[in-house]
Structure 1
């Protein structure tokens, strides 16, 4: 037997099986280290999680039947392996593996002689093939063919993510495999871990505990892992039945904060009770940075729910929802005020294993003032984290602001960031464009007083950004220098205008060259609640007009602020001595831009005087702001108010019923 094994090893140097077996024998209980954990098993993951188009049932049956036909020929003639090879290369079995198992099993049961021959061929696929798709096919069919020493063979393939999915399916066919899958799960990572957990049943407390605490700790597929672990299990009973140490609650808190980064509290069974119990445990025994971050994640999640409910305030349950979570919010804030967290944060700042976002969020919520040296340590290792720049310019002291400004401009890929004007918008950026967001935050929030020497130059450079919002903000920042521009500055602006392809940016750049007039009027009115209007699907378009009287107002007040599609308010001007029907056109900040033209205002004035609500939407703005065209709409707001008033009389309560 030993001689045969040695001969096999010599004769199968290119065999996937013997390569893995040799590694396993040298490194027991260790995953195959030469695989790419970000790639191995990815195709199987995408298909079983429906991230690519699924085959129709008839397609699966057709492909499975055709492959069984090729296998039948291969069983009779070893030379037909090439036809099997070609078929599974074009049609990988992951797309129809369930149908293949059924059809293959049924066809083999009716022909024992073919099964015997097929067993030999499958054994060859398992042990001798150097082609991964052949090996996967062999693993999948091996339990049907009753391959000898199969569990040991499967154990060999379980150390590589490319084969774990098929290994688990083979174990499931054999039966009584949950403990085996659990053992594979504990040492797995990458896509292999996902396959294990998707097929693992929490039959014991040990398995349940591991799934909750470590099941989602992975580099890929976090959302899917959470759905199979923490979302699927009874977290409340786990928290109530477990006696935690500081270290143990830290492990759970890390998983729980990960859960809340991907899902809402509404997705968790008994979410309020789970939160209260977790907060009680953390309040009693403390914990580390992730215990604190779990508390903060709960706050973030509740805030997100409140914001969503506020946006949909027509739902009368919104106030009840806020009351349900009031106790949780109070407990979170109480825990965050504990001074012990300041030491926890300070101790974790040098820890490169802790995400920068965790440290910054914890510092923000606990009012821990990061020292300049601490912030510098964090941003040096994570200079493309936009949250760090937001923290620096909104909360950080002057030293931290300077640190973020200088380090950002030094370390960010400025050649790429200033690659030239384009039509990129923040809402369309990909994750790999995060450096553009970091630079935008610098341009938007850095104040002239803090960076007197660099401010003008960096904003001129920002006019070359491909991000529209960055260019608009840079033009806005340069407004403070417009009276000081020299000929070179003006030439730079003209060059930017000549190549600018976005009208909003071009308009903002043109405003830099328009001379301000101190003689023009700057009129503001107070925007009260009665003037506020939300657009509604039942609003009625009435007409389009060019705003009259623009030349009498200092339009520099709206340079780079007013954009096309922005809403403007319409307000009667009863004190106008030139036009008794006058209607002012006002920005949402209260700046009066002009009037509805006399030729168009009589009917509109009558509507407003009769209690109707009108508003405008900016349709077009000329590049020098000398002409602004708006669309005028009749709002549905008065109808909503009438219905709300009627319902409140019936119920005795006033609510925002409809929108």
Structure 2
């Protein structure tokens, strides 16, 4: 139950933490991993992991109680207890076991004494974290004399902080203790503190709003327990702020807007208006500016969401109030002081690179090469930096993103081989894939001529589908210039490619286009056709003449189910019945076969509208089949014309 340190002195977890606690003036335990300590408890209590059914929790609680009682009255070694809680951590059925334990000891005073000794042993002598957690969970019900010291010692480590706080809660009158823990905590420990902290004083409310959500994990939960649960408008209207407090407040609001929209905040528009008023009068620091930008982003998100859902945002949600907020934000962003503040903060490693880049973009501050390079070196997997470099940056900044990006990005993982990984199913750990995709998509040939082809050939091995598609598209410019090695790389990529869409595009790279035809025509309004439920399917045909067409023009743009237009070519010297097949962009991909076009041309010449849908495309694009439909468009036009005549709305119908 104990472990030995380097000096072979027997030490438990308790004594390790106790020694650190009294040697470091009650500081948080510095040797813990803040990214993992307490993570299991966090995921369970926030329901981010599989939740047991209540009957399962009761069953586990009963089994543990049975084992615990048996070992207390026999060997008192607790080996089976250790085995059980190692496989079934107490956090998964915490409440159920606590209720069972309290009920048991309330009916048996003798049992309490036996349990007390075993629990003290678990807490003070154990070298196993799950044993300590069990002991801390039960300690407040066993009248342990030095319980205050025990809880104080374990409160410095996030692995045990949840159980410590729960123990304080059971003892009672602990809000001030939890507040003191919250002020010095971070990581998952801060989440545990805030979730149990009650905003009963102005000091606590102030801290919860200004600093409560500033943490490296659990931001959404922290915001819901701090800013969203408090009266922000009352706080803003009745508080005098120093410049430092405005920065803290602004940082909290920028965090709030990263997870929640204006409409999710009580009195959101008025709150934003008041915050902007405070910042406008006291331009403070980089986070004051970023809070303004966050409001702009939040409003943009509302507009985009409405547009996606085809709502009439101009007359409904995109009101004068939103317009006013946008104009106020823009005016604040124009202040010259922000350029000075950005220049000062560029070298500050405490400021997130996303904040600096967003502020530079919105204020039109031009980052110098050295400034951008310094930011990029400390955050080279931030996709926003790649976007900035290609959208705003000059040639020197683009060179930084390319040279340093290729040097620092984990290319062995990015180019580990073709996979079915897509943008839509990426997780945060795959962020480097997006960075490389942006590089491949927006890097221009003129900026990196010597290695452009080589880089895109390498990108054919990317795990991300979108990267491979973009690389194959970029390589189209070299399709008549590939050497033997290039062709071998392309052939290898084709042979191992599992995604049909990518394989087609790769196959098009092998087709020589020197003698191929490229021909566009203007797509006029009368060619446009909307699919109607009453359209009639006529026939499926293979488009003829595709082998003479340069299909590289459509190889990454034409897919199954795409609509194509049909247009008569009256002056065709070889076939007076000719019907061209045209993409919606106006590119001619071939003709309706001669054996199928007689009846179709008669329909078209008599005013009927025909269109096609791509049915199937071969990997080399030489064989394209389309389904041809008779459109309902002419009937709709005839009805519309008749109604217009009858209504008298069009004067030219009056004879």
Measured against the shorter chain, the TM-score band is 0.7 to 0.9
In structure 2, the residue matched to 1:47 is: 44
Contact 1:522 1:553 in 2 (8 A): no
Counterparts of 1:192-231 in structure 2, within 5 Å, are 192-231=189-228
Q: Who is 2:467 aligned against?
A: 470
Corresponding residue for residue 526 of structure 1 = 523
| Aligned equivalents of 2:413, 2:607: Cα separation in 1 | 57
The equivalent position to 1:366 in structure 2, one of 363, 367, 388, is: 363
1:545 is paired with a residue whose SS is strand
Q: Distance in 2 between matches of 1:296 and 1:68?
A: 55
Q: Which moved more, 1:199-208 or 1:421-430?
A: 421-430
The 3 A distance-change label for structure 1 pair 450 and 130 is closer
Q: How much does 1:467 deviate?
A: 3.2
Q: CA deviation at 1:601?
A: 9.8
Partner of 1:622: 618
Report the CA distance between 1:325 and its aligned residue.
1.6
Task: Quote how far apart the aligned CAs of 1:185 are.
Answer: 1.0
In structure 2, distance between residues paired with 1:566 and 1:351: 52
- 1:381 shift after superposition: 2.4
Listed as ranges, the matches of 1:12-91 within 5 Å are 13-77=10-74, 79=76, 81-91=78-88
1:589 aligned onto 2:609: no
Give distance in 1, aligned partners of 2:602 and 2:222: 60
Tell me if the contact between 2:38 and 2:188 (Cα under 8 Å) persists in the aligned partners: yes
Distance 2:76 2:29 in 1: 32
In 1, are the aligned partners of 2:529 and 2:633 still within 8 Å (CA)?
Answer: no
TM-aligned CA deviation for residue 306 of structure 1: 1.0
Which residue does the alignment assign to 1:567? 562
Q: In 1, Cα distance between the equivalents of 2:234 and 2:268?
A: 12
CA change 1:452–1:93 in 2 (3 A) is closer
Tell me the alpha carbon deviations over residues 414-471 of structure 1, each in whole angstroms, 9 at most, x when there is no partner.
3444444444333333433333322322222122222233323333333333333333
Alpha-carbon distance between aligned partners in 2 of 1:28 and 1:421, rounded to the nearest angstrom: 54
- How many corresponding residue pairs? 628
1:583–1:596 Cα contact (<8 Å) kept: yes
Native 8 Å contact 1:443 1:474 kept in 2: yes
Distance 1:553 1:210 in 2: 72
In the aligned structure 1, how far is the partner of 2:116 from the partner of 2:479?
A: 84
Which residue matches 1:433? Answer: 430
Counterpart mapping for 1:103-252 below 5 A: 103-252=100-249
Q: Distance in 1 between matches of 2:493 and 2:336?
A: 52
CA offsets 1:309-336 (integer angstroms, 9 cap, x no match): 11111x3456311124221111111111
* Structure 2 CA distance for partners of 1:581 and 1:293, relative to 1, 3 Å: farther
TM-score w.r.t. length of structure 2: 0.85
| Coordinate RMSD, CA, aligned | 3.6
Alpha-carbon distance, 1:292 to partner: 1.3
- For the structure 1 residues 264 and 638, does the alpha-carbon distance in structure 2 shift closer, same or farther, using more than 3 Å as the test? farther
Deviates more, 1:187-196 or 1:558-567: 558-567
Larger deviation, residues 385-394 vs 435-444:
435-444
Cα distance in 1 between the residues matched to 2:496 and 2:104: 70
Structure 2 SS opposite 1:620: strand
SS of structure 2 residue aligned to 1:36: coil
Equivalent of residue 321 in structure 1, options 297, 300, 317? 317
Assess, with a 3 A threshold, how the Cα gap between structure 1 residues 67 and 318 changes in structure 2: closer, same or farther. Answer: farther
Aligned to 1:96: 93
Q: Give the distance between the partners of 1:250 and 1:299, measured in 2 at CA.
A: 18
Contact kept in structure 2, 1:521 and 1:553, CA below 8 Å:
no
Evaluate the alpha carbon distance shift between residue 300 and residue 510 of structure 1 in structure 2; reply closer, same or farther with a 3 A threshold: same
With normalisation by structure 1, the TM-score equals 0.85
1:558 corresponds to: 553
Give the C-alpha shift of residue 539 in structure 1. 9.7
Q: Compare 238-247 and 195-204 and name the one that shifted more.
A: 238-247
- CA change 1:129–1:541 in 2 (3 A) is farther
Give the distance between the partners of 1:265 and 1:543, measured in 2 at CA. Answer: 52
Deviation, structure 1 residue 528: 5.1
1:652 maps to what in 2?
A: none
Question: Structure 1: how far apart are the matches of 2:218 and 2:247?
Answer: 22
Return the offset for 1:200: 0.9
> Is this contact kept in 2: 1:392–1:404, CA < 8 A?
yes
Question: Is contact 1:459–1:478 with CA below 8 Å preserved after alignment?
Answer: yes
Distance in 2 separating the partners of 1:378 and 1:74: 58
2:544 paired with 1:545: no
Select 1:481's aligned residue among 475, 478, 481.
Answer: 478
Runs (5+) with no aligned partner, structure 1? 1-9, 642-659
Q: Check the 8 A contact 1:570/1:583 in 2, yes or no.
A: no
The structure-2 alpha-carbon separation of the partners of 1:349 and 1:156, relative to structure 1 and needing over 3 Å to count, comes to same
Cα distance between partner residues in 1 of 2:484 and 2:15? 75
Kept in 2: contact 1:463–1:475 (CA 8 A): yes
Match of 2:458 among 458, 461, 468: 461
* Residue-by-residue CA offset, 1:319-373 (whole Å, 9 max, x unaligned): 3111242211111111112221111111111112222222111111111111222
CA distance in structure 2 between the aligned counterparts of 1:326 and 1:636, rounded to whole angstroms: 43
Q: Is the 8 A contact 1:443 1:470 kept in 2?
A: yes
Secondary structure class of the residue paired with 1:322: coil
State which drifts further: 261-270 or 327-336.
261-270
**Structure 2 match to 1:293:** 290
State the alpha-carbon separation in 2 of the partners of residues 11 and 63 from structure 1: 37
Look up the SS of the partner of 1:134 in the other structure.
Answer: helix
1:199 offset after TM fit, Å?
Answer: 0.9
Could you say if the C-alpha distance between residues 287 and 617 of structure 1 is closer, same or farther in structure 2, counting changes exceeding 3 Å?
farther
